[in-house]
Every structure is written in C-alpha cells, then in structure tokens.
Structure 1
Amino acid sequence: MAGSDGYHEQLQRDSQFLCSEPKMHTELVDRLVLQLNRIYPQILTDKEAQRFRNLSVPTEVRLAELLVHLQRKGEEACHEFYRGLQIHADEVYFNLPTRVSRRREHADPVGTDTVTRHIDKYVLNNQGPLFFLSCFGLAVGLALLYYYGEGNLSGTSPFLGFSALGLGSGASEVLLACKEDASRIQ
C-alpha cells in the first residue's frame, strides 16, 4: 500500500467511506482497537482503548474519533490501522476508495478497456465454434480413411476428388495430391 501517498493521507481520504461502511460494525471496531492497544500500546494506550470501546457511544462516533486520533498519532499509527483492517476485514480493506483507485490505475494506465484487451489476447480466430468443429471433423474423417485404408488411400480416390470441391484452395490441393498418389499406387 506504500505508494506516492502516505498512509496518513490515505486514511484522510478513506475516513468518510469507513464511517459510512455498514461492515464496520461494533465487533470489528473493538477488534481493531484491541489489536492496536495490545500489539502497539504506543499507538493506543489502555485509557484510549477504553474510550474507543465504550458501548454507550455509537459505533460510528467511536470509529470517527479513532480515525482522527490515529491521524494525529502519525504515519505509523495509520499504517498499523490499515494492517489491522486487512487482517480482520479484508473485504472492507480491498474496497477502500484508495485501494480501488490504485487498482484501476495499475490495471488500466492508459485508459483503455482492459476487458477487451484480455479477450483479444486469447482469441485465436474469429471463425467461431462451427469452424472448429468442421476442421476437427475433416481431420477425424481423414484419419479414419487412412486407418481403415491400412496406410494407403487407394480405395478412397473418388471420395477425395469430390471432397476437394467444397474446400478452400489449400485443403483441396492436399486432397487432390492424395488422390493423385492413390491413383499412382493402383
């Protein structure tokens, strides 16, 4: 998450989202406060933790006060809040406005549509499934003719000649060459 903006600036931009997010419920806020208090007592003392865990104050108010308090404490406090948020509520963490905008910047740096770019990357041809099935059927048919002809195509000469009529120039040349070879063998 370390980018051009520091965690302090990111927390300022994410504060409104966090305070209005319904997934930031009382239990989650308490877990975040406890983590900051137990692991980083220099960020959140016992007295401050009790204040932010007071259930007589609405969760939204306690969360807003916690965010302001962390911003006053500095960059490291904001960073540890984000770390705790990622641990306890990764869905909220990954939907933060600063995270979403950063993913868009990295995924689409020039403003093009990444979905079409990825689709175009994997399309081998634009003929469709019917084209694939016809090519596959032709290959299977030729393999069967070769297999049942026991390695030579002598008995299939008339079939190969008529098969070449409806095909493109490359395929018809191959079939006609096979027909000529079969007629030479006879």
Structure 2
Amino acid sequence: MGDSFHEQLQADSRFLRSDKRLDTELVDKLILQLNRIYPQILTDKEAHRFRDLDVPTCVRLAELLTHLQEKGEEACHEFYRALHLHVEEVYFSLPTRISRRREPNGISPVAPLKERYALNDRGPWFFLGCFSVAVGLALMYYYGDREVFGDPRKVLGVTPLGLSRTAKELLISYTEDGNRKL
C-alpha cells in the first residue's frame, strides 16, 4: 500500500461506508469542516448537496468519498485531518492506521483504547464491597457498643500485620495507650 492519502482513502472507503459511528451529525461536521476551512475542496454548492437530509447518510458519505478522491491528494489529506479532529476513535480504527501501527512481526504495540484506562479487572462491585467493609469497620469503631463488641482498639493490635515498621509501632502504641486508660 502506498503512502499517498488518495490511496489510503481508496483502501479505507469500504470501512468508512460501513462504520455505524459515522452518523448524520458527524458526516455533517466533516462536510462543514471541509467547506469552511477549504472551500476550494468543497464549495458551498457541493456542501449543500452532500448535506441534503432527504438522501440517506450512507449514500451521502459514499458520494463525498468519491468526490474527494476525484479532487486529488490534498482533498483526501484534509478529509483525514477533519476525521481526526471530529471523530478520533474512527480515525484510529481505520484499516490503514491499524496497519501502520503494527510492527513487522504483526503485533500491535499500541494498547487498545478500552484497556488504556482500566485500573483493575474486578469492576465497580469489588470497589463497593471493599468500601462498605471499611465504612462498617469505621462505624463499629467509633459508634460500637463497648459492652457488646469489646474495646475496638484491640482490633488495631492485629491490624498492623501487613504494614511497615513505623505503622506497626504507631498502631501498637495506640492500643497500649488505650489499655492504660481503662
């Protein structure tokens, strides 16, 4: 595959026509971007024709892609620029973009966008469970009945098992000070 934007648009056209993320609103944004910034690529008359809501979006997009390919290299380049600006997730999922990111052995070095922001694989219920246990222990510690539960400070004597040395010393001294007051 060549490096020209014209050839890339020919290769990506089938994908762009079938992608459901390019709805009427996004196609209109792309047309307006090309018309306002580069009227030599897409004149007012052409933009009005491609924005006609009586024609289905998939047909308008197919005609726009064909029109841009006929206009030449610069028009194709500006289409990619507008696509990158307005619909970044579609731009990065284009077949020509994916093939450029792949290494020679076929392995993609770029992590998928979905996995980039995942902190863990346990999900929100795990977080809510841990948070609920912590809140329950705090409520029991501060508002618990000493006759029913005993002194909550005794729990702190077992707590420092996995903590650093200074944290262990602090918690143990706190439990010892609490025992002297009683």
- Normalising by structure 2, we get a TM-score of 0.57
Unaligned runs of 5+ in 2: 111-164, 166-182
In the alignment, which residue of structure 1 is the partner of 2:57? 59
Alpha-carbon separation, structure 1, partners of 2:108 and 2:71: 41
| Displaced runs of 4 or more, over 2 A | 110-115
- Mapping 1:120-159, distance limit 5 Å: none
Q: CA distance change for structure 1 residues 61 and 112 in 2, over 3 Å: closer, same or farther?
A: closer
Report whether the alignment pairs 1:109 with 2:101. Answer: no
In the alignment, which residue of structure 1 is the partner of 2:88? 90
Report whether the alignment pairs 1:41 with 2:36. Answer: no
Q: CA distance change for structure 1 residues 109 and 28 in 2, over 3 Å: closer, same or farther?
A: same
What code does the residue aligned with 1:17 have?
Answer: F
Q: CA distance change for structure 1 residues 12 and 112 in 2, over 3 Å: closer, same or farther?
A: closer
In the alignment, which residue of structure 1 is the partner of 2:10? 12
Q: 1:90, CA displacement in angstroms?
A: 0.2
Q: CA distance change for structure 1 residues 93 and 114 in 2, over 3 Å: closer, same or farther?
A: closer
Alpha-carbon separation, structure 2, partners of 1:114 and 1:56: 43
RMSD: 2.1
Q: 1:109, CA displacement in angstroms?
A: 1.8
Q: Is the 8 A contact 2:101 2:109 kept in 1?
A: no
In the alignment, which residue of structure 2 is the partner of 1:21? 19
Q: CA distance change for structure 1 residues 35 and 111 in 2, over 3 Å: closer, same or farther?
A: closer
Q: CA distance change for structure 1 residues 102 and 55 in 2, over 3 Å: closer, same or farther?
A: same
What code does the residue aligned with 1:63 have?
Answer: L
Q: CA distance change for structure 1 residues 73 and 112 in 2, over 3 Å: closer, same or farther?
A: closer
State the identity %.
70
Q: 1:5, CA displacement in angstroms?
A: 1.6
Alpha-carbon separation, structure 1, partners of 2:72 and 2:18: 23
Give the count of matched residue pairs.
Answer: 111
Unaligned runs of 5+ in 1: 116-139, 141-186
Q: Cα deviation per residue 1:31-79 (whole Å; 9 max; x = unaligned)?
A: 0000100000000000000000000000000000000000000000000
What code does the residue aligned with 1:30 have?
Answer: D
What code does the residue aligned with 1:88 have?
Answer: H
Alpha-carbon separation, structure 1, partners of 2:46 and 2:33: 13
In the alignment, which residue of structure 1 is the partner of 2:66? 68
SS of the equivalent of 1:109 reads coil
Alpha-carbon separation, structure 2, partners of 1:112 and 1:7: 24
